[in-house]
Amino acid sequence: MKIIQITDTHISHLGGTTNVNAERAIRFINALEPDFVIHTGDVTIMDPDEDRDRATAQEILAGIAAPWRALPGNHDVGEPGDSPFADRAVTSERVAAYRAHFGDDRFVERVGEWAVVGFNSELFGSGLPEEAEQWAWLEGLPELVGPHPVLVFTHKPVRAPSPELQNPHVAVGAESLPRLEELLARLDVRGYGSGHLHHYALTARDGAPVVSAPATAFTAGSSAGDEVTGPGLKQLGVVEYGIADGVVTPRFRAPADLVEADLLEIASVREALAAMGFDLAQIGVEA
Ligand SMILES: [Fe+2]
Ligand SMILES: [Fe+2]
């Protein structure tokens, strides 16, 4: 059995290399004939309030041939914490807009004998009613999942690359982590996958692989250094989870035709940031 994780497509209604890469990655994924595809968020380019990006993303993701689900990232619904990126805090309205286009932001999908569990990392610590609903749903997971082995997917990693980075910019916030750990410990978790860090890294926890999946849109270079992401492969691609005899084997996979680019080299990113009110000149970038 085969599950593919694609993440951080950052699709724009303006087109550009992020869209080209998403389309190429999807063609590559379709050729691998997976049983299931999971998109772990940052579906859209930058601004959670830009509906045109969601519409374009919907069209592109419709090209995925296998059954698939998506999860929201901070660029899709905003983020929790005191200083959310570009002042876009996660709100009920932004979560509702995401759900209207891409379906529920938490789910259990049966794939063969396995349960693929996905939930919204941007709600932890938000204080929104949706956070309380998600906690209640997490409490009920053992019943929803039954005896099946579990793969857990989120946009931001459950655990940050280092304890001092356990904050809502990087991962699930430190105040929420112990409760989440306790709830996940009730499940037979055989693997974790997340996005957000725009690099590929494979570590392990209690014998289960922990994957930080590479983006398809742009590499981490300009946005975050190793001190934030931890060591990893800064190359665009997707992750293939081979599943056999109860064991999950993740592999970095990359189509040869992805356009490797750094965040601010991409015209549609610069336009999106400018439209959000960023003064690009101040950070030394020509819009
Ligand atoms: Fe991202
Ligand atoms: Fe992100």
pLDDT digits (tens, 9 = 90+) for 146-182: 999 999 999 999 999 999 999 999 999 999 999 999 9
Please tell me the number of the ligand nearest to residue 45's CA.
1
User: Confidence class of residue 231 from pLDDT cuts 50, 70 and 90?
Assistant: confident
In Å, how far are 23, 56, 121 from 182, measured between CA atoms? 38, 38, 16
Distance CA 246, CA 238 (A): 22
pLDDT band at 280 (very low <50, low <70, confident <90, very high): confident
Specify the pLDDT at position 56. Answer: 98
Beta strand pairing call for 107-111 and 114-118: antiparallel
Quick one: CATH architecture of 2-262? 4-Layer Sandwich (3.60)
Distance between Cα 120 and ligand 2 center (Å): 12
Please count the other Cβ atoms lying within 10 Å of the Cβ belonging to residue 221. 16
Q: What percent of the chain has pLDDT over 90?
A: 88
> Ligand 1 centroid to 51 CA: how many Å?
18
Ligand found nearest the CA of 73? 2
pLDDT higher than threshold 70 for residue 186: yes
CA of 113 to the centre of ligand 1 (A): 31
Smallest CA-to-CA distance from 243 within 216, 209, 196 is with 209
Give the separation between CA 8 and CA 263, rounded to whole angstroms.
Answer: 12
Strand 189-194 relative to strand 150-154: parallel, antiparallel, unpaired? parallel
Q: What's the pLDDT tens digit per position in 4-14?
A: 999 999 999 99
Query: What's the CA-to-centroid distance between 71 and ligand 1, angstroms?
Result: 12
Confidence of residue 283 (pLDDT cuts 50, 70, 90): low
Q: Which residues contact 286 (CB under 8 A, 6 or more apart)?
A: 280
Task: Identify which ligand lies nearest to the alpha carbon of 90.
Answer: 2
**123 Cβ partners below 8 Å, 6+ apart?**
80, 90, 95, 105, 130, 131, 134
φ/ψ of residue 270, rounded to 5? -60, -40
Residue 253, helix vs strand vs coil: strand
Report the C-alpha gap between 79 and 73 in whole angstroms: 8
Ligand closest to 74 (CA) is: 2
Lowest mean pLDDT segment, chosen from 63-67, 80-84, 192-196, 247-251:
80-84
Single-letter code of the amino acid located at 277: G
Whether residue 262 contacts residue 218, with contact meaning beta carbons closer than 8 Å, is answered with: yes
Which residues make up the environment of ion ligand 2, defined by Cβ < 5 Å?
42, 73-74, 196
Q: Is 154 left (phi over 0), alpha (psi -120 to 50) or beta?
A: beta
Closest CA to 2 of 251, 257, 264: 251
Ligand 1 center from residue 148 Cα (angstroms)? 30
**How much distance in Å is there from the Cα of 170 to the middle of ligand 2?**
8
Gap from CA of 168 to ligand 2 centroid (Å): 11
Beta strands in the chain (DSSP E): 2-6, 36-39, 68-70, 107-111, 114-118, 150-154, 189-194, 201-205, 208-212, 238-244, 247-253
Ligand number, closest to the Cα atom of 9: 1
For the segment 112-129, the average pLDDT, to the nearest whole number, is 98
Ligand nearest to the Cα of 168, by number: 2
